[in-house]
């Protein structure tokens, strides 16, 4: 079976997914591309072997020969595109986050459920070999009961000021932290009860003008009593730094590394090695694996592992953590309900 797929959003990340749909997933057939920038859509279609590029994604959704869509549009547009795709009867893969508000999350989830289509959210770290292995070790009881979670998410540069605006991306905590929030729930096997955030504009003061920050630390209390900590940063000038540690009652796990290639340079000056430059070098295979999983779920009629409810939960944690930053107090997740 070949799953005929339309790509909505042909920017930087859209082209990453177009590449995997065109070259990495045998069962997928990239049929059409849509983007508000018609030239960008047409160029991407030509580059990755799709039939046509559209300026209006509704034209793509109107095609009865398209089975599924991959949505890689700006964050604040995810709900409206998901709803339109569900109403058109298409299976849906959407980049994270699901939405910027819980109400929008719930509306999108309701549309998916009403249409009876499959929906997968782009939590690609769940498909990274290191995180997959860690999850298996936890489930096998190798480290006993997980009791402490620590995650580091640091970008080597700040994002654009326009993207940093909360109304566009949700800001540092909601946008960057969303992966860490999902990992915390997934690896620890518990929902989060309470968050407490400290953060500020410590390196890029211009972010304050658009309502964002560049560094934050978020402490977590899980419903099962476990504890955790996440730090997110936009100024890891030394490289793309993504690491996670799980401490259990009988041992621990460390996931991720700073070194990209297995080479140490040893001279009189000391020993040095390279670092991971950015997200594609670190998670390129994970992006391909999550798309393979989505297509397999359609072909084999399985339920995706990263669902809309997971997206709702990660968004809720991000909203609570941002509220904690703004109000200078711990925030319980049940305050949002």
Per-residue pLDDT of 137-158, as tens digits, reads 999 999 999 999 999 999 999 9
Model confidence at 337: pLDDT above 80: no
CA dist list (Å): 243 to 240, 257, 291, 334: 10, 7, 23, 29
Q: Higher confidence at residue 1 or residue 201?
A: 201
5-30: average pLDDT = 95
Model confidence at 1: pLDDT above 80: no
- The chain-wide mean pLDDT, for the chain, equals 96
Distance, CA of 246 to CA of 139 (rounded, Å): 13
Nearest to 96 by CA among 129, 128, 127, 74: 74
Domain spanning 3-124+286-290, CATH architecture? 3-Layer(aba) Sandwich (3.40)
Distance, CA of 268 to CA of 16 (rounded, Å): 41
CA dist list (Å): 174 to 107, 243, 307: 19, 18, 18
Write out the DSSP string of 85-136: HHHTT-EEEEPSPS-SSHHHHHHHHHHHHHHT--EEE--GGGGSHHHHHHHH
Q: pLDDT grade, residue 258 (50/70/90)?
A: confident
pLDDT at 237: 95
162-168: average pLDDT = 95
Lowest mean pLDDT among 143-147, 164-168, 236-240, 258-262: 258-262
pLDDT at 57: 98
Please state the domain extents for the chain: 3-124+286-290, 126-283+313-336
Nearest to 101 by CA among 109, 92, 93: 109
Domain spanning 126-283+313-336, CATH architecture? 2-Layer Sandwich (3.30)
Query: Backbone phi, then psi, for 199, in 5-degree steps?
Result: -175, 175
Q: What is the pLDDT of residues 75-117, one digit of tens each?
A: 999 999 999 999 999 999 999 999 999 999 999 999 999 999 9
């Amino acid at each position: 079976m070949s799953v005929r797929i339309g790509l909505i959003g042909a920017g930087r990340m859209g082209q990453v997914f177009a590449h995997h749909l065109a070259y990495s997933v045998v069962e997928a057939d990239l049929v059409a591309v849509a983007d508000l920038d018609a030239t960008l859509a047409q160029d991407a279609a030509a580059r990755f072997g799709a039939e046509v590029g559209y300026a209006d994604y509704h034209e793509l959704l109107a095609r009865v020969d398209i089975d599924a869509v991959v949505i890689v549009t700006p964050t604040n547009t995810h709900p409206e595109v998901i709803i339109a795709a569900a109403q058109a009867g298409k299976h849906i893969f959407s980049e994270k986050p699901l939405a910027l508000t819980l109400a929008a999350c719930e509306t999108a989830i309701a549309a998916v459920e009403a249409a009876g289509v499959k929906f997968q959210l782009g939590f690609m770290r769940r498909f990274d070999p290191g995180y997959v292995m860690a999850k298996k070790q936890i489930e096998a009881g190798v480290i006993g009961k997980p009791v402490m979670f620590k995650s580091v998410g640091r970008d080597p540069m700040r994002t654009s000021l326009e993207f940093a605006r909360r109304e566009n991306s949700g800001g540092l905590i909601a946008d960057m932290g969303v992966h860490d929030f999902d990992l915390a729930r997934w690896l620890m096997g518990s929902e989060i009860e309470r968050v407490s955030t400290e953060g500020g504009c410590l390196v890029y003061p211009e972010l304050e003008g658009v309502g964002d920050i560049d560094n934050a630390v978020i402490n977590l209390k899980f419903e099962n009593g476990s504890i955790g900590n996440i730090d997110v940063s936009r100024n890891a000038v030394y490289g793309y730094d993504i690491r996670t540690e799980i401490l259990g009652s009988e041992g621990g796990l460390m996931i991720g590394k700073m070194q990209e290639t297995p080479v140490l340079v040893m001279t009189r000056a000391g020993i040095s090695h390279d670092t991971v430059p950015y997200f594609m070098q670190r998670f390129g295979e994970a992006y391909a694996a999550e798309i393979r999983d989505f297509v397999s779920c359609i072909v084999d009629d399985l339920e995706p592992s990263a669902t809309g409810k997971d997206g709702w939960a990660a968004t809720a944690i991000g909203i609570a953590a941002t509220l904690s930053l703004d109000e200078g107090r711990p925030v319980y997740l049940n305050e949002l309900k």
